Structure 1
Amino acid sequence: MAFSDKVFWITGASSGIGEALSYELSSKGCSLILSARSADKLKQVKASCAFPDRVRILPLDLSDMDSLSAKVQQACNLFDRIDILVNNAGISQRSLIADTEMEVYQKLIRVNYLGTVALTKALLPHFINQQSGHFVTVTSLMGKFGSPLRSGYCGAKHALHGFFDVLRMEHEKDGIAVSLICPGFVQTDIAKNALTADGSPQNKQDTATSNGLSPERFARKMADAIEKKTWEKYIGGKETAGVYLKRFFPRLLHKLVLKSQVV
């Protein structure tokens, strides 16, 4: 099957990386199911796609895990199949460990990790039955190494790597592929929406985020990695070097991160 014939289901599609990826894939002729909490924003994204007649919207909330099995059934009925699930929805954090309330950590784990796992598990039988499928999960460079003010976010993203590496091992025999996409700094509202110590949004942009890749450029690189079924793809600027420094020179990375402009 050609890449342009694939049916994609994208979570977090109402803004940022998910929105940009929707436009990129639509321009290639792919069929899309777009999900996020806001139906109104999803309708706006659909209207801006190259082929809106090949786009369906399906609002969902990852934190409502009890609803996800029904959402999977609805999604499968929209085009009679799903070829690729893009687990993109998530929320970030900007607060010190000593100040952060446990409820904030619980929300980060529930949305970024458990919600993603629940949706993946709910769709897994469909992929096994059709003996094909591709899970694409947007983690972060923070899933490979840490950074101040992001402890809960880093923890959840690290957990995704552990889960999806095992999923690849267990279901390669079923024709199922797994790709982990690790963004660096991208010009989205992720910093504005990041949770602070009491759970309220930060409501301001980070300098590093403002200077990151454009969502459009990121989406092109991400679509290429998906088409190639790349296992792990690090997409960003010089911050991607942190993955290799963590592996070979962890103490040097520690010093560099503490000196760098990460907010």
Structure 2
Amino acid sequence: MLHIIKERIRQKYRTLDYPRQQPVLSPRFMGRPSLTPVNCDGCTACYAACPTGALLPTEGTPDGTPTLDMGRCTFCGACRQVCPRQAIAFTGEHRMAVFRREDLLVVPGQPAPQAARPSAPGKFSLFRRSLKLRQVSAAGCNACEADCNVLGTLVFDLPRFGIDFVASPRHADGILVTGPVSENMRLAVIDTYDAIPEPRLVAAVGACAISGGLFRNGPQCNNGITDILPVDLFVPGCPPNPWTILDGLLALRR
């Protein structure tokens, strides 16, 4: 027992006082992208380098910097590396979760979607003090699932916010989906959603759940959950940083 007490004193308090104290993230973490308007003069190197087609022509500027869809982006940084005009950058900002699919589009020269994030829809007011989620891995690679699971560790301590993952959809307030939703998992996701009592919410975590990610347009892939269920929260990333997921879940309570 004395050894346990000594070790506890040595380790000190490990839970971060989030969101009042912001986390120190790894320099390898890419974070939210930022696009500088430039004249690309016909250059399409970034389009060719993107593995998921996350770069889209910006409306009204055919020769300018493209729009970046964070719902498809894997944050690999390949577009930044090949851009000769250095128009694409990644800020290291972890707050990227949004309530609307269109807010995942990063348009050159426009404010970041996070800066204009609206308040949580009114139906979520019921869950401000207690939120129970049923997590469903719909053919995911286990990366997003691992970053959801780590929220239960002492550094993040998700239950202190009144948020928990539960084993049964009958005990849940919503469903958190990861993975591209293969055809084999499509019915399972729908059945899980139907088993949750109303009002209920849907969170799509990771590029696969939002758009299909690297598996987009695959023969056995439904390109995520957005065309199957009404999604209330989008958390981009491949996988999303645990702090990004936590910020998105806390946004439901703001």
Q: TM (normalized to structure 1)?
A: 0.35
Larger Rg: 2
| Greater RCO, CA 8 A, separation 6+ | 2
Please state which structure has a larger fraction of its residues in helix: 1
